[in-house]
Amino acid sequence: MSELTRTVVGRPERLLVHALVALGGAVILWETASLSSDSATFPGAVGLGLILFSVISAIATLRSVSAPTVEAPLVQGMIGLALLGAYVGSTVLAGFLTSALWFLPAMALVGGERRRSWLVAASAGFVLLAFVVFRLVFAQPFPPELILGEI
Amino acid sequence: MLDVLGGLPDALSLGSVLAMAAGTAMGIVVGAIPGLTATLAMALLLPFTYAMSPLISLGMMAGIYNGSMYGGAIPAILMRIPGTPSAVATTFDGYPLARSGRAKFAMHVALVSSAAGSIISALALMLLAPPLVSFALRFGPVEYFWVAIFGMASVSLLLASAPAKGLAAALIGIAVGIIGMDMITGAERLVFGIRDLSGGINIAVLMTGLFAVPPALSMLVPDSGVGDRRSTLSGAGIRLADLRGLVKTWIRSGVIGVVVGVMPGAGGNLAGILGYSEERRAARDPSLFGKGDPRGIAASECANNADNAASFIPTLALGVPGNSVAALMMGAMLIQGLNPGPALFSEHGDVVYGFMWQMLLTAFLMLAFGFAGAKAFAQIQRIPGALLAPMILVVCSIGTYAASNNMTDVWLMLVFGTLAYGLSRSGYPMAPIVLGAILGPLAESSFRQGMLITRGDPAGFVSSPVSIVLALAVTAVLLVPPGRHLYRVIRRTV
């Protein structure tokens, strides 16, 4: 992938990420304050290290302008994650495969796929295949499906 | 050597052969699709391995690893797009050869060279891991503490674009690894009142989130290379006489791949580039390289496959994975209740040696599938990435749920995926996070046991020859970034 698509990540976004890493370190330090010294030594060192290294990274970021990335652009990535979150949420109500019937076309549309027949056929085919595979291969129960019953 | 031979019958059982065949085919398909990597495929498979026996899950993973390395050469040759990062050097001569009407020949050279590299690597694993285990039997908690620190430090510093980001990534991994109950004092750490976290984080959930979610999201980009329609397989295939001319190349590149594989932090991409560079340097007529010289394809493909099994030498013998694939493989073993390290060889020799044979046998399966299905594999790039991405995410979610029957784990997978996406965009590497999660708890428990043994005397951590060597190795690794910086400054001023 690294050789295929490169987008640029701006300085504010990178600084925000370093700040969040430092915040994570601070939360770990705060959480370990209530522990005995034996249990607190390692997490405490981790918390301190996270703050230290994120500060170093932030200083380096301030000296640079922008950096290339191989990851999805921010808009597509955030929409994709939001849809994934909605999908996981809807599986509790409708099941993994029933929810996939809206999730697959929605994500494909975000990815630029516009052929309706492709979307319908691929979504239905994948759900049917997954239903057969998981029903045959796995014995453990999944959350009840809204339209396909328990798998 | 007799112990090694003992693993062959298990590796040849029907279930194992079917698992290797399925894994190899899956690996070639995954490698042939730009954007999909061995780590993604293994991360997807990992949660499902709970329901499998050890040699079935390891056989599938061995097949995926070897198969994907060859699969990466297919789009590299046909479209000048490396299917996996390890196939970058394959594009240099593969694409010109394909453009000259010899695509089939180029694909065959890549296939046979990949198989040669995998065979050399598996033999190195069989020959080098057992002596390393005999040596590692002398290790106590102090030595294991240094080994764990060395593993984390070297991977963090060598994989990251900036040392501070690599080390921060390792610390994030350690923080994830120590979530849950402290095994010595019984105190709950970093649980934040969430009852489902008190048992710790499932390593499969972490790995699926880190290695499957960001690549799937990146496939949503229309020009990600997936869905390309330029693939054609032209010309005649390879002849036996052509193979004879490549033997020296395989030996050179195979050795380079094995050495790179054993080194923590290095990987198939480095092996491929080094193998190619060395072949070009050693050639009498280097002017042909870059214009369609089959030796260029052979060197790159042999070296990047020779890295595969060799990367498991420190993983199996010491319990220290040197790259993300080795960490995933170690995760698969931990899921099965197998703890990599010297004890594994005596307690579960059938699995360890069986796995070594699987790494060897999948090379032959790759050869068979590659010759039989070259045309079909060449068409795989036509699958649109926009459709593949959500399918991967659905399988991730189902797999994560199947591992524990717990929806919290699916939410955690989403959290780790989001974390990975954000961190990765800012240049934080993912492999040190996994290594931190695996080796962090080992380093902590070894440190605390060591302190008890040495009665709190820090000098006890550098009292044996092995611990001194390991401490020096850690220091040397930590000095690499400032040394590099100093070298650049001196060069600029001179």
In total, the C-beta contacts within 8 angstroms joining chain A to chain B are 225
Option in A9, A13, A76 nearest B221 (CB): A76
Q: What is the pLDDT of residue B18?
A: 96
pLDDT at B5 over 80: yes
Q: Once rounded to an integer, what is the mean pLDDT over residues B56-76?
A: 91
Instruction: Give the model's confidence band at A139: pLDDT under 50 very low, under 70 low, under 90 confident, else very high.
Output: low
Q: Which chain A residue has its CA at the smallest distance from B167's CA? A: A53
B98 within 8 A of B316, measured Cβ to Cβ:
no
Q: What is the pLDDT of residue B485?
A: 80
Please name the residues between 39 and 68 in chain B that touch chain A, using a CB distance below 8 Å. 48, 51
pLDDT at B21 over 60: yes
Q: Which chain A residue has its CA at the smallest distance from B444's CA? A: A42
pLDDT digits (tens, 9 = 90+) for B158-190: 767 789 999 999 999 999 999 999 888 888 999
pLDDT digits (tens, 9 = 90+) for B447-490: 999 988 888 888 889 988 989 999 999 999 888 888 888 888 88
Option in B192, B387, B447 nearest A108 (CB): B387
pLDDT at B293 over 70: yes
Q: What is the pLDDT of residue B440?
A: 92
Instruction: Give the model's confidence band at B284: pLDDT under 50 very low, under 70 low, under 90 confident, else very high.
Output: confident
Q: What percent of chain B has pLDDT over 90?
A: 40
Q: What is the pLDDT of residue B422?
A: 96
Torsion of the alpha carbons at B92, B96, B102 and B104, rounded to the nearest 10: 40
Instruction: Give the model's confidence band at B248: pLDDT under 50 very low, under 70 low, under 90 confident, else very high.
Output: very high
Q: Once rounded to an integer, what is the mean pLDDT over residues B72-91?
A: 83
On average, the pLDDT of chain B sits at 88
What is the number of other CB atoms lying within 10 angstroms of the CB of residue B209? 27
> Helices marked H in B80-102 — which ranges?
88-97
**A18 interaction partners in chain B (CB closer than 8 Å):** 426
Predicted structure pTM score: 0.82
Cα dist from B453 to A120, B141, B199, B456, whole Å = 65, 9, 28, 8
Instruction: Give the model's confidence band at B265: pLDDT under 50 very low, under 70 low, under 90 confident, else very high.
Output: low
Q: What is the pLDDT of residue B1?
A: 65
Option in A4, A17, A138 nearest B423 (CB): A17
Q: Once rounded to an integer, what is the mean pLDDT over residues B120-145?
A: 90
User: In this structure, is the dihedral angle defined by the CA atoms of residues B226, B231, B233 and B239, taken in order, positive or negative?
Assistant: negative
Hey, of A18, A42, A96, which one would you mutate to test binding to chain B, going by the most B CBs within 10 A of its CB? Answer: A42
pLDDT at B419 over 50: yes
Three-state secondary structure call for residue B456: coil
Q: Which chain B residue has its CA at the smallest distance from A127's CA? A: B391
Please name the residues between 36 and 65 in chain A that touch chain B, using a CB distance below 8 Å. 36, 38-39, 42-43, 46-47, 49-50, 53-54, 56-57, 60
Say whether B82 and A54 touch across the interface (CB within 8 A): no
Separation CA B278–CA A68 (nearest Å): 29
Say whether A42 and B444 touch across the interface (CB within 8 A): yes
Q: What is the pLDDT of residue B95?
A: 87
Instruction: Give the model's confidence band at B299: pLDDT under 50 very low, under 70 low, under 90 confident, else very high.
Output: very high
**Sequential DSSP letters for B21-73:** HHHHHHHHHHHHSTT--HHHHHHHHGGGGGGS-HHHHHHHHHHHHHHHHHHTH
| Residue ranges per structural domain of chain A | 7-69, 74-137
Instruction: Give the model's confidence band at A2: pLDDT under 50 very low, under 70 low, under 90 confident, else very high.
Output: very low
Please name the residues between 131 and 170 in chain B that touch chain A, using a CB distance below 8 Å. 161-162, 164-165, 167-168
Q: What is the pLDDT of residue B256?
A: 93
Q: B376 or A81: whose pLDDT is higher?
A: A81
* Helices and strands in chain B, H and E counts: 23, 2
What is the value of ipTM here, to two decimals? 0.92
Please name the residues between 433 and 462 in chain B that touch chain A, using a CB distance below 8 Å. 440, 444, 447-448
Q: Once rounded to an integer, what is the mean pLDDT over residues B420-436?
A: 91
pLDDT digits (tens, 9 = 90+) for B310-368: 999 988 988 888 788 888 888 889 888 888 888 888 888 889 999 999 999 999 999 99
Contacts of A120 (CB under 8 A, 6+ apart): A105
Q: What is the pLDDT of residue A3?
A: 43
Instruction: Give the model's confidence band at B254: pLDDT under 50 very low, under 70 low, under 90 confident, else very high.
Output: very high
Say whether A103 and B178 touch across the interface (CB within 8 A): no
- A92 in reach of chain B (CB within 8 A): yes
